[in-house]
Amino acid sequence: MNLSIVRSAAVALCVLPAIAAAQTTAPRDSAARRPLDFTSKGLVFSGSDGFSYLALRFRIQQWAVFSRDDGAEGLSSATMAIRRARFRFESVVWDPRFKVNVQLSFSRGDMDFENSGFPNVLRDATVSFQATPQLVIMGGQTKLPGNRQRVISSGEQQFPDRSIVNGAFTIDRDMGLWTTYTRGRSTRPVILSAAVTSGEGRSVQTGNPGLSYTGRVEVHPLGAFTGGGDNFEGDLLREPAPRLALGVTLNHNDQAERAGGQLGRFLYAPRDMDVLLADLLFKYRGFATAMEFGQRRAANPITTSGASTRAVLTGSGTNVQASYYFPRGVEIGARWSTVDPHADVRAQFERQRQQSLVFTRYFHGHRVKWQAEAIRDDYRNGVTGATRGGWTARTSFEFGI
């Protein structure tokens, strides 16, 4: 990919609109609202000026995971845990064009403790400015405009967790400056997003001179999804007409210090990385399908310290999933995923194939749901050719507002 084009486009989209929009004004909503209300935003405290508010939300995901390796006499592992426990705060104050978002996580699996070495409670902390009806400028820490499955909240997924392709190649959260421009929001949306960020991920105190540059283009050629349906998995609203979303993201990370750019263990030496992500989402009358492709490239992906090595997972992966939502809150789905490491790192990473079936019972949409999933994993060593595999049963209950 042409790195100079990615960098220049990201910088231009992030910096120039902020200057041009400095004098923009927006009308205030003077409609009367109750001081305390319970809406789709959560528990909402509204100000008397007609636009200021504070919305509070929480959610908890509990799961149990039981695995058995091929050839084992009994269970190989059994886990019961609080997978996610999060609080989210959204507020508009002083000026209706400014919005603040903060998200905190409290379960160990959500804190990235094993990789970062400290309890990483803060997930999101942003201030956004609605410069025009089409343009949003945002600064702080949040998700990069990456693959759709990562951008969609984990609370809006139709499987208990995201795919192995997302885990291998996503670009996740970072600290910096974002812009999003949306054209034809109610007809055939075209969304352009860009970000210039630190490249080191969540809550990193020290960095290096390298930055991360991200650009994304997304189009909805068949029209806008009902009720923001491009922002949650499964066709829970049973689209009356076919709806399609196509997206492509490019990311270049200069001197990344972690194995996955913004995620993973810290490398023994910085590496430049390039990530390509492409995704498709289709929904119609209860049927939904989503496809994603991820690829990461890096020169000299292996870093060493004495006899120890830490490597960048270069290679590619593909995820395909499909589902059908029945009118009474029941959904069945299937997923096929592959991750193929590049030849340079096959001594460090195995090739993985995963297939799964999921049953979901929605009690109150994605806010309250129970899921049961059966998973088959197959691995192949890229050096010796040895294979292994196993089965996993996973069940999840999620409750939130």
Query: How many Cα atoms are found within 13 Å in the side-chain-facing hemisphere of 358?
Result: 29
> Which of 381, 378, 377 is CA-nearest to residue 392?
377
Kindly report, residue by residue over 290-317, the tens digit of the pLDDT: 999 999 999 999 999 999 999 999 999 9
Report residue 4's pLDDT band, with 50, 70 and 90 as the boundaries.
Answer: low
Least confident stretch, 19-23, 158-162, 244-248, 254-258: 19-23
In this structure, what are the phi and psi dihedrals at residue 308, rounded to the nearest 5 degrees? -90, 145
State the average pLDDT over residues 100-108.
94
Q: How many CB atoms lie within 10 A of CB 72?
A: 12
Least confident stretch, 155-159, 182-186, 310-314: 182-186
Q: Of 40 and 22, which is predicted with more confidence?
A: 40
The two tokens of residue 108 are: 């160990």
Residue 24 Cα distances to 44, 97, 103, 131, 176, angstroms: 27, 10, 28, 6, 23
Cα separation, 101 vs 375, whole angstroms: 35
Cα separation, 95 vs 270, whole angstroms: 42
Is a pLDDT exceeding 60 seen at residue 16?
Answer: no
Kindly report, residue by residue over 335-384, the tens digit of the pLDDT: 999 999 999 999 999 999 999 999 999 999 999 999 999 999 999 999 99
Whether 86 and 105 have beta carbons less than 8 Å apart is answered as: yes
Q: Tell me what pLDDT residue 118 has.
A: 76
Cα separation, 81 vs 62, whole angstroms: 6
Kindly report, residue by residue over 44-89, the tens digit of the pLDDT: 999 888 899 999 999 999 999 999 999 999 999 999 999 999 999 9
Cα separation, 192 vs 189, whole angstroms: 10
Chain centroid to CA 246: 16
Q: Tell me what pLDDT residue 205 has.
A: 72
Query: Partners of 321 in the beta sheet?
Result: 290, 335
Computed over every residue of the chain, the mean pLDDT equals 91
Q: Tell me what pLDDT residue 39 has.
A: 86
Cα separation, 75 vs 77, whole angstroms: 6
Residue 59 Cα distances to 153, 173, 232, angstroms: 12, 20, 16
